Amino acid sequence: MAVLGAGVAEFPYLKDEDVVEVQRGPEPGGVGGAYRAFGETLRGLKTTMARLIEGPLTIEYPEEKTPVYPRFRGRHKLHKFEDTGLEKCVGCSLCAAACPADCIRVVAAENIPGDRVSAGERYAAVYEINLSRCIFCGYCEIACPFDAITMGHDYEMADYDRSDLIFTKEMLLAEPIERTPLRAEGE
Amino acid sequence: MLPIADTTVVEATWVMIVKSLAIFAVIFGILPLMTVLERKLIGRFQHRYGPNRVGPFGILQPLADVGKLLSKEAFRPANAIGTLFILGPLLPVLSGVLALAIIPWGNVQDGVGLYGIDVPIGILYFFAVGSIAFYGLLLGGWSSGSKYSLLGAMRGAAQLISYEVAMGLSLLGVIMMGGSLSLVDIVEAQGSLWFIVPQFVGFLIFMMAGFAETNRTPFDMPEADAELVQGFMTEYGGMRFGSFLLVEYMEIIVVSGVAAAMFLGGWMGPGPGWLDPIWMLTKMLGLVLLFIWVRATLPRLRYDQLMGLGWKVLLPLATLNVLVTAILVVTT
């Protein structure tokens, strides 16, 4: 076998060579074959016993959850300003425009000066995300000019009814029950 | 009524009834636990836990399984042959239960033999009764009226002729060294040295044939869940299917029991006499663990490979073993 050149390193064999050398085991049969089969059986038994000693790798899911990475894209969250308590969303519908699955519905309304809902001129009177259509691509998060919508970490959203999967503004604004552990630094 | 065979110790009828009830209680208590043990161990061999939801450590899993099986319909395909189809799962159960009788749990203590029955033809009884199980397999597979079942039964027949001879020959060396066919006498003959040491080849051949006898991996071609969807069991449902499974475990216990008695010194072990059955059970469970370990390790052989192994390797080896043993027994 020739040494692999720099340009062909991605191929497991040489492109120009016609013959590929294949390593095959010895022919079965005969006394030698039986002896080898016996030896290989013992080797197999050793291998499985080693797995037994290593112990299970199962993560027992409902009790024990795989931690997610900080940038994991789970269920959406809507945000408020921490100091004023006003909603960040101004009802611009850019998220709905960016959404490839067309699962966001925004109906904007004018803010009344005495009773402001959002920091901007307008606010989202209706903000619904149909999670049964959402593909969790995160484009809404990127499209949003005010960081009003972000992707959270929750992924347990199974439900018995499709209509229950349409999340309204109140549900998205509410602080979600933290059900998903976050992966620690370097984990 | 004539006795079925000459028994070496005559016991009262009620003693025999109590004995058989005790054996039943113990074995049928172990069987469900064995299924859990197997599933849990196979899980561990594959880096997972196995059943651990039903009851503490999943120990009630067989109860749930049996409950499920009992609630299933006893389905019969339209083109199945009725009587034979029903007989299919019954014969192996009969064979397994009968074979349990000769496993020796201890010698005669206080006038009671700690075994179901000690017949002078001993190990022949095991072969005779054990072979009946295969009739169930063949009949069940053939009478199901399904091609998978028929293929499974065919493989079963092919398997049967390839291992039975080697299995019989593998025990012949032990019988010659023990000087008796009775399992009790053979265990007694192992007081100084277990027969696994001088008869190691015989032990290996017997265990390989035992894997084939119990339809266990690597010789589970009659079942072959991957390509034959359980083979001869395909058309069975509910508790009929369950009894096939039950028999598989019962056969494992029987083969382990015979192997323990023939090669591992049966009930021999340190401690007082009442520990004998526990020693026997320990040795049997050790062999059961071997069965599970092998199942977790080896892939299924093709059936021509099994026939090749049986006729070309095991049979000559067993014959050689018998010859050498015979010469040694005669000369010493």
ipTM summary value? 0.72
Closest CA to B184 of B109, B125, B113: B113
Backbone angles phi and psi of B67, in degrees to 5:
-55, -45
Q: How far is CA A25 from the centre of its chain?
A: 43
- Provide the β-strand partners of residue B112: B109
Tell me, what's the pLDDT at A10?
61
Closest CA to B226 of B133, B135, B152, B139: B152
Q: Where are the alpha helices (DSSP H) in B46-199?
A: 61-70, 82-100, 122-143, 147-178, 183-188
Q: Using a CB–CB cutoff of 8 Å, tell me whether A163 touches chain B.
A: no
Closest CA to B324 of B168, B213, B140, B170: B170
* Contact flag A56-B296 (C-beta cutoff 8 Å): no
Angle at B295 between CA B290 and CA B297, to 5 degrees: 95
Q: Is the separation of the CB atoms in B75 and B152 below 8 Å?
A: no
Q: Which of B53, B217, B294, B297 to mutate against chain A (most A CBs within 10 Å)? A: B297
**pLDDT of residue A186 exceeding 80:** no
Q: Using a CB–CB cutoff of 8 Å, tell me whether A63 touches chain B.
A: no
Nearest residue in chain A measured CA to CA from B314: A34
Compare CB distances from B49 to A34, A41, A58 and report the shortest one's residue. A58
Q: How does pLDDT run across B62-117, given as a tens digit for each residue?
A: 888 888 888 888 777 888 777 888 888 888 888 888 888 888 887 777 767 777 77
Give the C-alpha distances (Å, rounded to integers) separating B184 from B28, B100, B105: 23, 14, 9
Q: Is the separation of the CB atoms in B244 and B152 below 8 Å?
A: no
Contacts of B202 (CB under 8 A, 6+ apart): B170, B171, B173, B174, B195, B263, B318, B321, B325
Contacts of A27 in chain B (CB under 8 A): none
Tell me, what's the pLDDT at B275?
78
* Contact flag B47-A56 (C-beta cutoff 8 Å): yes
Kindly give the confidence (pLDDT) of every residue in chain B, 332 residues in length, as a single tens digit, with 9 standing for 90 and above: 444 555 556 677 888 888 888 888 888 888 888 888 888 888 888 888 888 888 788 888 888 888 888 888 877 788 877 788 888 888 888 888 888 888 888 777 776 777 777 777 878 888 888 888 888 888 888 888 888 888 888 888 888 888 888 888 888 888 888 888 888 888 888 878 888 878 888 888 898 888 888 888 788 877 777 777 777 778 787 788 888 888 888 888 888 988 988 888 878 878 777 778 888 888 889 999 998 999 888 888 877 778 888 888 888 888 998 899 889 888 88
Q: CA-CA distance, B15 to B320, in Å (whole number)?
A: 43
Q: Which of A42, A51, A53, A54 to mutate against chain B (most B CBs within 10 Å)? A: A51
Q: At what angle do helices B13-45 and B82-100 cross, to 10 degrees?
A: 100
Greatest distance between any 2 Cα atoms in chain B: 64
* Contact flag B293-A49 (C-beta cutoff 8 Å): yes
Contacts of B291 (CB under 8 A, 6+ apart): B211, B214, B216, B252, B256
* Contact flag A58-B297 (C-beta cutoff 8 Å): no
Give the C-alpha distances (Å, rounded to integers) separating B98 from A8, B2, B91, B117, B242: 69, 18, 10, 10, 19
Closest CA to B100 of B115, B90, B119, B121: B115
Q: CA-CA distance, A40 to B301, in Å (whole number)?
A: 14
Q: CA-CA distance, A142 to A144, in Å (whole number)?
A: 6
